[in-house]
Amino acid sequence: MKILYFAWVRERIGLEAEEVDPPASVRTVADLAAFLKERGEGYAHAFENPSVVRAALDRTHARPDTPLGAAREVAFFPPMTGG
Amino acid sequence: MKILYFAWVRERIGLEAEEVDPPASVRTVADLAAFLKERGEGYAHAFENPSVVRAALDRTHARPDTPLGAAREVAFFPPMTGG
Amino acid sequence: MFTVRIQAGQFDAAAEIAALAQGRTDIGAVVTFTGLCRDDIAPGGARLVALTLEHYPGMAEEEIARLVEEARTRWPLTGATVIHRFGRMIPGDNIVLVVTASSHRTAAFEAAEFLMDWLKTRAPFWKLEEREAARSWVAAKDTDDTAAGRWG
Amino acid sequence: MFTVRIQAGQFDAAAEIAALAQGRTDIGAVVTFTGLCRDDIAPGGARLVALTLEHYPGMAEEEIARLVEEARTRWPLTGATVIHRFGRMIPGDNIVLVVTASSHRTAAFEAAEFLMDWLKTRAPFWKLEEREAARSWVAAKDTDDTAAGRWG
C-alpha cells in the first residue's frame, strides 16, 4: 500500500511517500493512522491529534471509520487551505 | 416644470420631453399623472394603468404620493428592465 | 476605486479588473458579473434579433452611484466598478459589468449580487426587443423585484 | 464547456471568459471569482512575504471535477472553468479562478459561490505562509466549513 503525506504531516514525518504493509488487523483509516503513529517520533508528532489529520483513499476523501478495502493509495494531510 | 418620458410612455405620448405648468391643485406625482392623462389620446393611453407607470423627481425615484415640492424635472417611465 | 460608467461602447472585463487591482496587494477576492444579450426565443417562436437599451441620462449614473454607496455601507469593499451600456445590442454582446473587490470573498460575492439585483429594478434602463416577426418592450419581471427585495 | 486546470503559471480571467462565451449566444450571465494572494499582517505584526501552495497531484483535478459535476446537477450551467495554481505566490498574485456561465444570473452567481465554498474545504491544497519573521502552515478556517455546509 502506498502512503502519501502532505503539508505539515509530510514535514513532521520527513517523507513524501512510502510503501507500507500493515497487518490484517488494520482495517480502517483510523486503524492505519494509529499503526503509523507507532513508527517513530516524526509519526507520533504528525498523528498526535488524529482528529485534525484528514485522509483520502485512492484520491477520494475518507473518514476515520472508512474501511481501507482494496485501496492502493492512501494519503494523510491537514485540513485543506486552498482557494 | 420639465417633464420627461421614456420607453413606451414616450412612444405613446409621442414626446421625449415638454414644459408643463400644472395648476396649484396638482400636488403629488399621482396628481400630475392624472392631470397629464387628460391632455389627449396618447397621454390617456400612456397613463391608462397608472400603477405601472413609475416616476422620478429630479432624478430620484418617487412614489405616487410623493409631493412634487420644488421639483424642476419630473420623469415618467415603465418599470425598469436594465441589467 | 469606485467607478460608474454609462456608455454606448463595449467594455473589457479584464481591463476593469486590472484597474481595480493595479498596484494593490490588499485585495483577496474579485468578483465580476457580466450580463450578455442572449439569443432567446419567445413562446411564439420568434427569435431575438436585437435589444435596444434606452436610458435616462444623468439619473442612470446617479442612481447606480447611490447603489454603489449603499453597497459600501454594507460590505468592506476595496473597490467596485459598474458599467452599463445603452444602444442596440445583438445576441452575444455585453450589456452590463459589475466588478467588486474586497479582502474577503463573501463580501465580494454578496456586494456583486446586491448591485445586480438592484440594478435590475432601480437603474433607469429599458430594453426594446426586436424579434424576427415583432418588436415589443420587455416587461419588468416579478422575479427581479423578489431578488432585490431580499436585501431588505 | 467545462474545464479544470491545476497549473503553476498565471491565468488570464478575460481569456477564460472569452473561451466560455466564444461563438455562443445562449449565455446571459458570466460570473468570475478571482482569489488573490493578499498582503495581510499577522496579529503579531509580521507581514506576509509569500504563500507556497502545495497540492495533491491527481486528486486535486479529480476532486475539483467532482465539484463541477455536482454544480452541474444543481444549476443549469452552459459552462464552467476552474483554475487553481500551485507553487510560490507573492502578494498581488492570482491563486484561483472560477468562471460560471448560464442563461440566468442567479444560477451563475450561486454556482460560483458553491464552487468556491467547496474548493476551500475539499480541494487538496495547503498554503505555507512565509512572513517577515516566521513561516507556518495556514490553519483551515471554521468559517470555510460553515460556508460549505450551507449547501447541505
Contact D116 C105 (CB under 8 A): yes
Q: What is the mean pLDDT of residues C91-116?
A: 96
Q: What is the mean pLDDT of residues C116-144?
A: 88
Across-strand partners of B76? B5, B55
Q: Count interface pairs C-D at CB distance under 8 A.
A: 100
Determine, yes or no, domain membership for D148.
Answer: no
Of D85, D139, D82, D78, nearest in space to D114 by CA? D82
pLDDT of residue C94: 93
Determine, yes or no, domain membership for A82.
Answer: no
Distance CA A62, CA D134 (A): 33
* Chains B and C contact (Cβ–Cβ under 8 Å for 3 or more pairs): yes
Q: Which three cell numbers stand for residue B22?
A: 400644472
How many angstroms separate the CA of residue D89 from the nearest CA in chain C?
12
Percentage of residues of chain C with pLDDT beyond 90: 71
pLDDT of residue C45: 75
User: D 45-74 residues with CB below 8 A of C?
Assistant: none
Q: What is the mean pLDDT of residues A53-80?
A: 97
Which helix (H) or strand (E) is C126 found in, with range?
strand C125-131
* Chains A and B contact (Cβ–Cβ under 8 Å for 3 or more pairs): no
Q: Which domain holds residue A28?
A: 2-77
Q: Report the CATH number that the domain containing residue D78 is assigned in CATH.
A: 3.90.1170.40
Do residues D91 and D105 lie in contact, with contact meaning Cβ atoms separated by under 8 Å? no
Determine, yes or no, domain membership for C73.
Answer: yes
How many angstroms separate the CA of residue D113 from the nearest CA in chain C?
7
β-pairing, B73-77 vs B2-5, is parallel
pLDDT of residue A4: 98
Closest residue, chain B, to C135 (C-alpha): B8
Contact B80 C58 (CB under 8 A): no
End-to-end CA distance of chain A: 30
Residue type, B70: A
pLDDT tens-place values along chain D, 152 residues long: 999 999 999 999 889 998 998 888 999 999 999 999 998 787 777 889 999 999 999 999 999 999 999 999 999 999 999 999 999 999 999 999 999 999 999 999 999 999 999 999 999 999 999 988 767 788 888 878 888 888 76
**Is a pLDDT exceeding 80 seen at residue C134?**
no
Determine, yes or no, domain membership for C106.
Answer: yes
Determine, yes or no, domain membership for B12.
Answer: yes
Do residues C1 and C77 lie in contact, with contact meaning Cβ atoms separated by under 8 Å? no
* Chains D and C contact (Cβ–Cβ under 8 Å for 3 or more pairs): yes
The residue to which cell 508528532 is assigned: A45
Determine, yes or no, domain membership for B82.
Answer: no
Residue type, A26: V
Determine, yes or no, domain membership for D152.
Answer: no
pTM of model > 0.80: yes
Determine, yes or no, domain membership for D151.
Answer: no
Q: Which domain holds residue D83?
A: 2-138
pLDDT of residue C131: 87
Q: Report the CATH number that the domain containing residue A30 is assigned in CATH.
A: 3.10.20.30
How many angstroms separate the CA of residue A72 from the nearest CA in chain D?
14
Q: Count interface pairs B-C at CB distance under 8 A.
A: 74
Do residues C30 and D93 lie in contact, with contact meaning Cβ atoms separated by under 8 Å? no
Contact D120 A7 (CB under 8 A): no
Which residues on chain A are in Cβ contact (under 8 Å) with D35? 83
Which of C14, C35, C92 minimises the CB distance to D13? C14
Q: What is the mean pLDDT of residues C25-51?
A: 89
- Tens of pLDDT, residue by residue over C50-71, are 999 999 999 999 999 999 999 9
Which helix (H) or strand (E) is D61 found in, with range?
helix D59-74
Percentage of residues of chain C with pLDDT beyond 70: 99
Determine, yes or no, domain membership for C100.
Answer: yes
Determine, yes or no, domain membership for A11.
Answer: yes
Tally of domains within chain B: 1
Q: What is the mean pLDDT of residues A68-80?
A: 97
Q: Largest Cα–Cα distance of chain B, in whole Å? A: 38
pLDDT of residue D134: 65
Residue type, C117: D
Q: What is the mean pLDDT of residues A58-80?
A: 97
Give the SS3 label for residue D124.
Answer: coil
- Helix H, strand E, coil C: the string for chain A is CEEEECHHHHHHHCCCEEECCCCCCCCEHHHHHHHHHCCCHHHHHHCCCHHHCEEEECCEEECCCCECCCCCEEEEECCCCCC
> Mean pLDDT for chain C?
92
Cα D95 vs. chain centroid, distance in angstroms? 7
Query: B49: pLDDT confidence band, cut at 50, 70 and 90?
Result: very high
Tally of domains within chain D: 1
Determine, yes or no, domain membership for D144.
Answer: no
pLDDT of residue B19: 98
